[in-house]
Structure formats: structure tokens, C-alpha cells
A and B are shown apart, each in its own frame.
Chain A
Amino acid sequence: AQSVSQHNHHVILSEAASLELGCNYSYGGTVNLFWYVQYPGQHLQLLLKYFSGDPLVKGIKGFEAEFIKSKFSFNLRKPSVQWSDTAEYFCAVNARTGGFKTIFGAGTRLFVKA
């Protein structure tokens, strides 16, 4: 069965600091990987996704993520965070062999101090 682990549950950063959120998944086959963001009181938004090809993917709002197959990881990065990045971030995975059921990690709550 698929599972997703997010190592940091709460992260506090100052504006302009760099961000890296860890995500590891457990699945033996070919997977599709996602990062979603949920701003306070709002619904999920897709930040970026990886299906195949270049393992470094760029998303919206200056976010990027790198797929490292050997480490089963898909870490999210942003070089310089802003106060408006305060939100909860979810890593997620699905697979064709799993009927594209999307499984979410526990989430990382990011607070950016102005």
C-alpha cells in the first residue's frame, strides 16, 4: 500500500529565509507525485506535480520540488519565503496501479514571520 511521510509537522521561518519541506513515499511501482497548499480557511490548491521526465519540477508561486527516485523523496523548496506563504503544505502520491487513489501525507504547517 502507498504511504507518504512528511517529516516536519511545524516550520517557522522569517521572511526571505529558504524553505525545504521533506516528503518520502512508500510504493514499489511508478508513482505520480504532488504538492498541495491549503491557505487558512481555503481549499486545496495544486502547487506542482511530477509524472515523468526532468526530476526537478517548478510550480506556482516560486516553488519547486525534486524527485529523487533512489531516496523515494520529493522535497519541496522555495529560495525565499514570504509572509503570504503561511499555509499548510501536503505531499501526495498516486499510481496507475492503485487506480489513481491519491494518498496524502500528514501535512506541514508553515508559519512565516513578517
Chain B
Amino acid sequence: GAVVSQHPSWVICKSGTSVKIECRSLDFQATTMFWYRQFPKQSLMLMATSNEGSKATYEQGVEKDKFLINHASLTLSTLTVTSAHPEDSSFYICSARDELAGAYEQYFGPGTRLTVT
């Protein structure tokens, strides 16, 4: 089945630094990937749509300069949290759809827990 991986699974960084999170589709290609964040005991909130070869599309209220998204290839999207602050601490989850297979569902990665100290 379609598998999406994320790296790292957990990262701790100091306030003011930047952190990069990778999302890979392991056995399929995806021109579009999605990034979500999940605060403790809350639902997944869609942050942005990552588009291969073009700019990401951000949801309302998400700072594009803070959350940089790069979709460099058909199997890799990265999310960089720039100048991280403690309030950015959250669980970040990506997803992708096996477009060639005509799948309707998104396959979700296992998530990356970011803690900013």
C-alpha cells in the first residue's frame, strides 16, 4: 500500500532557530502534498497545499514566510519552520495522494513532533 514517511519524528530546537521537516511518498509519486498541524487534544488543521514545481498554497491565517514549503520532487516536500517560537510547538503531519492510481484518499505520514524551547 501507499506509504508516506516523515523525518524527523521528533525534534527539539531553541527559540529563534529554523527546523526543516521532510515528507516523502515512498512508493508513489505525488504532485500535491498537504501539511497539517495538530495541537495537543485538538484536530488536524490544514496549513498548506504543497505543489511540485510551484509555490505552495497557504490556508487563511497561515504565515507563508514562517512556514516555508518546498516541493522539490514528485516524492519529497519539506516544511521549514523559520525563527521558531514556543507557540510553534506542535505535531506536524503531511499527507499525499497516489494520483496515478486514482486514489481519493490521502495517505498520512506518522507526524513530526516539534518542541521549541
- A→B interface (CB under 8 Å): 32, 34, 36, 43-44, 46, 49, 51, 90, 94, 96, 99-107, 109
Which residues in A have their C-beta under 8 angstroms from that of B104?
32, 49, 51, 94, 96, 100
Closest to B32 in A: A99
Instruction: Check B95 for interface membership: any CB of A closer than 8 A.
Output: yes
Closest to B109 in A: A43
Which residues in B have their C-beta under 8 angstroms from that of A34?
105
Q: How far is the CB of B75 from chain A (nearest CB, A)?
A: 18
Contact A107 B105 (CB under 8 A): no
How far apart are the CA atoms of A46 and B95 in the complex, in Å? 13
Select one of A36, A49, A101, A103 contacting B49, CB under 8 A: A101
- B→A interface (CB under 8 Å): 32, 34, 36, 41-46, 49, 93, 95, 97, 104-106, 108-111
How far apart are the CA atoms of A35 and B59 in the complex, in Å? 23
Which residues in B have their C-beta under 8 angstroms from that of A49?
104-105
* Among A44, A96, A99, residue most surrounded by chain B Cβ atoms (within 10 Å): A44
How far apart are the CA atoms of A96 and B97 in the complex, in Å? 12
Closest to A90 in B: B43
In the complex, the 3 A-B pairs of residues with the closest C-beta atoms, listed nearest first: A43-B110, A32-B104, A104-B44
Closest to A106 in B: B43
Contact B106 A100 (CB under 8 A): yes
**When A32-B104, A94-B106, A105-B43 are in contact, do A100 and B111 touch as well, CB less than 8 Å?**
no
Which residues in B have their C-beta under 8 angstroms from that of A94?
104-106
Closest to B51 in A: A99
Contact A90 B32 (CB under 8 A): no
Q: How far is the CB of B13 from chain A (nearest CB, A)?
A: 21
Contact B105 A32 (CB under 8 A): yes
Contact B42 A102 (CB under 8 A): no
Contact A100 B97 (CB under 8 A): yes
How far apart are the CA atoms of A49 and B97 in the complex, in Å? 14
Given contacts A90-B43, A107-B42, 10 further A-B contacts (CB under 8 A): A43-B111, A44-B93, A49-B104, A90-B44, A94-B104, A100-B32, A106-B42, A106-B43, A107-B43, A109-B41
